[in-house]
Amino acid sequence: MSLMLICDDLMNVNWIQILLNSAVTGSLYLIGAVGLTVTYGLSGFPNFAHAEFLTLGAFIGFWIAEDIGAPLPVAFIVAFLITGIISVLCYRFIFQPLAKKGASTIHLMVASIALGFIIRYSIGAVWSWTPMYFSIKWPSYIVGSVRIAGQWSLLIVVALVLAFSMHLILIKTRIGKAIRASSSNPDLALASGINVGRIILITWFAGAGLAAVAGIFRAVNTQIWPLTGWDIILPIFAVVVLGGIGNYYGAIAAAFIIGLAENVGVVFLTSIGLSTEYRMAIAFIIIVITLIVKPQGLAMLFRRG
Amino acid sequence: MNIAVYILDIIIYIGIFSIVAISLNLEYGFTGLGNFGKVAFFLIGAYTYAILSQAGVPFYLCLICGGIIAAIGGLIISLPALRLREDYLAIVTLTVGEILRLIVKTESSIGGGVWGISVKRAISISFPAGFSAINKTVINAGVQIVLIFGILALCFIVLQLLTRSPYGRIMRALRDNELATESLGKSRAKYKAQVFMLGSAIAGIAGGLFAQYIRFIDPYMFMPIVTFTVWIMSLVGGPANFTGALLGATLVQIFDRGTNILKDYITLPIDPVNLQYILFGVLIILVLFFRPQGLLRESKFTTRPLKLVYEKRRSDTSNKKS
Amino acid sequence: MKKEEAILQIKRASKHFGGFYAVNDVSLEVKRGQICGLVGPNGSGKSTLFNTILGLQKPDSGDIIFNGTRINDAAPHQIYNMGMVNAFQIPHIFPSMSVLDNILIAARDYPGENMIESLFLRRKWQEKEQKLIEEAMEILKFVNLDMLGFALTSELSGGQRKLLEIAKGLMAKPTLFLLDEPAAGVNPVLGKKIFQKLQELTQEGMTFLIIEHRLDLLFEFASWIYVLNKGIIVAMGQPHEIVDNPDFYQAYLGEK
């Protein structure tokens, strides 16, 4: 394909639509990744089972909304609560005692992968491995040249509300201040009388709950099967790494940067004749480049986060 | 299936995965490198073998090339990743595995994409007429066992010699305290890159052996579960003991097949494949809790001269007493 | 060997963290075959200065010259192999290995540590290893750890680890040996014995730069002292001169 043709292709792309899609993708990654980055920062290891929290949330939501027939908001809330509680139990009965026994970071990571397999295959056993689809039909709106699906606008609203309320919690409340203190220096926080153990439990609860919400959105947009969460493990880790581990504001910026990079990347991939499957490779490249160039990610821009 | 054929099949799998497990022991158990993308190098070896053997390259060259390309892949990854903290290394290696699988899945020109690619056996015997099918299968399996266990023995001896030497002492030192090793004049980047290349090469060779044994590969055979299975083998048997890796590989394979056989005899409420991986997960967490050093421990002595000095001392003191 | 020649020269070195100067425009010289002391109150920048010399932290400005070579940009392992070694204040041990392993790994120029040689020239490195074990035993005897050669390092007490750290440095046969508080945590008699041994080793051309809070010991054995306070060299001279120098007292008392 000649360069001229590529340029021609790019000219014909609906860039406003791309920007909107990027915001949607970024919102999904933000909700999915925020729990991972905060627990990673506080507990000191990446919880690879976080992807399974997305999947678990999606299935609980599916069960509530499709099998029981409750309205979607109920599905969101129940999925949030159950996944959060399971996450806290996992931390309390697996990771915390392991860490107390002096397990290395590698051991904790292996344990989290093991936990991921337990959850993933339990889901497979309960709900089977056949992909399923949410039956809810969303209205979609055409504004000018842009198509907006109903679930997209909801997703963006949820992400914005989350971003803003998290900001308020971090800045205004005692818990938020404690989270910030603990993630920047756990020892100091401990010495200053902050109950770091409780803070960690709260972050494991809320982080996994948000992952569940992201999982439902992902499942509504695509399909639901035991790999719903694992399918987007690369961009989620890319958000964590690019944003700077444990850094909430970095994660917001990173989520939207990666959303944009993926959507613009897909346009380029198609125009040079490569498969759009490679959109995941974009997240991978971002991870590798960040770790080589600046392992602390965007965190240096958001010191106080 | 005939029971003898079934047992031979298990033995062959034990051989192939023992090779991967000892390579993980080299990287993780001795050097402290948490490679969560073992499957990536296994995949490189398998696809290299498949493609080269289709082009008519002799099998030993296919295996060697698979090893070399996996080693180069290991070097490329190690350059940025080995300077990093262990959790970053884990993220990078894990994602590399996913990316490689994505590439072979998407690019149908490499290895048939999702449809996979058929592979020739390394050694095929032309049987005279009158051989029963079952005899042919058994003899072929016997040839495979000789080939695979020959390579396993070779890798085992090389790694055993390497770890019981001053080189192995540096590996253990890197695992214990990286910065202290660096400040004692050893370039940690150099040693880690070498170990990572060697481990990847061995995993690549195992991938080649795997491809030629099952005679057909597709991207779905290289899921992260492969890496995880190898980790279980290493952790259960003993990460810093190569015999332990063999033991671990044997136990995990028997457990794996055992649950498969079990499903023919008793009806379980859940699919045995799901049950098996759930049990694997539970098993690994139990091992981490109750026996993190694995079944077999690390040898007390790094080198033979040290061991000799120790034994001489002990016999001296016992002579004095008597 | 020329005695008066400087083996280590630091020219106007500075190292700051944010706005805080841990080492501020420090110049000093250590002469070959000397025991040179570096004293100063806690937080005066002694350890940072050591880290800068060893390549563990890069100086922000200035030059560090070892044996006539500028080593500002050398990696720690390169500096070690040039013959400058260090005994850390908090011993750096390898807990899963024996005491002898911990010492043997400190040997320099050991071809057995090459992958090819360790695999294919086994006879050769094993002979070398036997010699090194004998040397290591000698060193262990000197630091009173000879009964613990095969003990697991994680089982050593704090004081024993300290001695092991010094033994490791001696194993490398350095030309310049930096010691960060060698006598801390060691019983007084052994502390003195260590300094006596170091003095013996200066006869063989070894040079020492020592941080030590046990000033009685240091002043007895050192031939030159630098006093560091708030990152600045405030006094220097022979021990008897330092004892009479008001800046020296100021450095220590000024804190209170």
Please state the three-class secondary structure of chain B as a single string. CCHHHHHHHHHHHHHHHHHHHHHHHHHHHHCCCCCCCHHHHHHHHHHHHHHHHHCCCCHHHHHHHHHHHHHHHHHHHHHHHCCCCHHHHHHHHHHHHHHHHHHHHHCHHHHCHHHCEECCCCCCCCCCCCCCHHHHHHHHHHHHHHHHHHHHHHHHHHHHHHHCCHHHHHHHHHHHCHHHHHCCCCCHHHHHHHHHHHHHHHHHHHHHHHHHHHCEECHHHHCHHHHHHHHHHHHHHCCCCHHHHHHHHHHHHHHHHHHHHHHHHCCCCCCHHHHHHHHHHHHHHHHHHHCCCCCCCCCCCCCHHHHHHHHHHHHHHHHHHC
Do residue C133 and residue B305 have CB atoms under 8 angstroms apart? yes
Q: Cβ neighbours of residue B142 under 8 Å, at least 6 residues apart?
A: B8
B192-205 tens-digit pLDDT: 999 999 999 999 99
Is the pLDDT assigned to residue B321 strictly greater than 70?
no
Is the pLDDT assigned to residue B83 strictly greater than 80?
no
Determine the pLDDT at residue A110: 94
Parallel/antiparallel/unpaired status of strands A146-149 and A140-143 = antiparallel
Average model confidence (pLDDT) for chain A? Answer: 87
Please identify which residue in the block is written with the tokens 């089972």: A49
Determine the pLDDT at residue C37: 92
Domain B3-321: which CATH class? mainly alpha
Instruction: Give the residue with greater pLDDT, C186 vs B215.
Output: B215
Chain B touched by A281 (CB under 8 Å): yes
Instruction: Give the residue with greater pLDDT, C121 vs A299.
Output: C121
Most confident region among A11-15, B59-63, B305-309, C158-162 by mean pLDDT:
B59-63
Is the pLDDT assigned to residue A12 strictly greater than 80?
no
A256-278 tens-digit pLDDT: 999 999 999 888 888 888 888 88
User: Which chain C residues contact residue B184 at CB under 8 A?
Assistant: 77, 80, 105-106, 168, 172
User: Which chain C residues contact residue B158 at CB under 8 A?
Assistant: 119
Is the pLDDT assigned to residue B5 strictly greater than 50?
yes
Mean pLDDT across the stretch B135-154? 93
Q: Cβ neighbours of residue C186 under 8 Å, at least 6 residues apart?
A: C159, C162, C163, C194
Determine the pLDDT at residue A304: 47
Range in A79-93, A228-242, B106-120 the model is least confident about: B106-120
Interface test with C, best of B156, B161, B169 (most C CBs within 10 A): B169
ipTM of the prediction: 0.89
Mean pLDDT across the stretch B162-187? 92
C152 bridge partner residues: C98
How far C231 CA sits from the closest chain B CA (Å)?
Answer: 24
B40-68 tens-digit pLDDT: 999 999 999 999 999 999 999 999 999 99
Structure tokens at B257: 């097949």
User: In terms of Cα–Cα distance, which of B270, B268, B278, B267 is closest to A126?
Assistant: B270
Asked whether residue C45 is assigned to any structural domain, the reply reads: yes
Structure tokens at A101: 């026994």
Contact A14, A145 (CB under 8 A): yes
Q: Which CATH number fits domain A3-301: 3.20.20, 1.10.3470, 3.40.50, 2.60.120?
A: 1.10.3470
Q: Which residues of chain C have pLDDT under 50?
A: 1-3, 256
Instruction: Give the residue with greater pLDDT, A21 vs A1.
Output: A21
Is the pLDDT assigned to residue B305 strictly greater than 90?
no
Determine the pLDDT at residue A10: 64
Do residue B305 and residue C126 have CB atoms under 8 angstroms apart? yes
Please report which confidence band the pLDDT of residue A305 belongs to, taking 50, 70 and 90 as the band edges.
Answer: very low
A167-196 tens-digit pLDDT: 888 888 877 887 777 776 666 666 666 777
- Closest residue, chain B, to C94 (C-alpha): B176
Whether there are 3 or more C-beta pairs closer than 8 Å between A and C is no
Domain with C74, as residue range(s), is: 6-89+158-253
Determine the pLDDT at residue C256: 41
B253-274 tens-digit pLDDT: 998 887 777 777 777 777 778 8
* Nearest-angstrom CA–CA distance, B160 and C134: 25
The model's pTM is 0.89
* Nearest-angstrom CA–CA distance, A292 and B84: 8
How far B4 CA sits from the closest chain C CA (Å)?
Answer: 39
Q: What percent of chain A has pLDDT over 90?
A: 48
Determine the pLDDT at residue A191: 65
Please report which confidence band the pLDDT of residue A8 belongs to, taking 50, 70 and 90 as the band edges.
Answer: low
- How many structural domains does chain C have? 1
Q: Give the CATH number of the domain where residue C177 resides.
A: 3.40.50.300
User: In terms of Cα–Cα distance, which of B172, B159, B158, B153 is closest to B306?
Assistant: B172
Mean pLDDT across the stretch A92-116? 94
Do residue A114 and residue B274 have CB atoms under 8 angstroms apart? no
Interface test with B, best of C105, C161, C171 (most B CBs within 10 A): C105
Q: How far is CA C42 from the centre of its chain?
A: 18
How far C98 CA sits from the closest chain B CA (Å)?
Answer: 8
Structure tokens at A109: 């990571």
Do residue B166 and residue C77 have CB atoms under 8 angstroms apart? no
Chain A touched by B109 (CB under 8 Å): no
Interface test with C, best of B30, B165, B171 (most C CBs within 10 A): B165
Is the pLDDT assigned to residue A212 strictly greater than 70?
yes
Do residue C112 and residue B304 have CB atoms under 8 angstroms apart? no
Please report which confidence band the pLDDT of residue A7 belongs to, taking 50, 70 and 90 as the band edges.
Answer: low
Range in A47-61, A185-199, B25-39, B76-90 the model is least confident about: A185-199
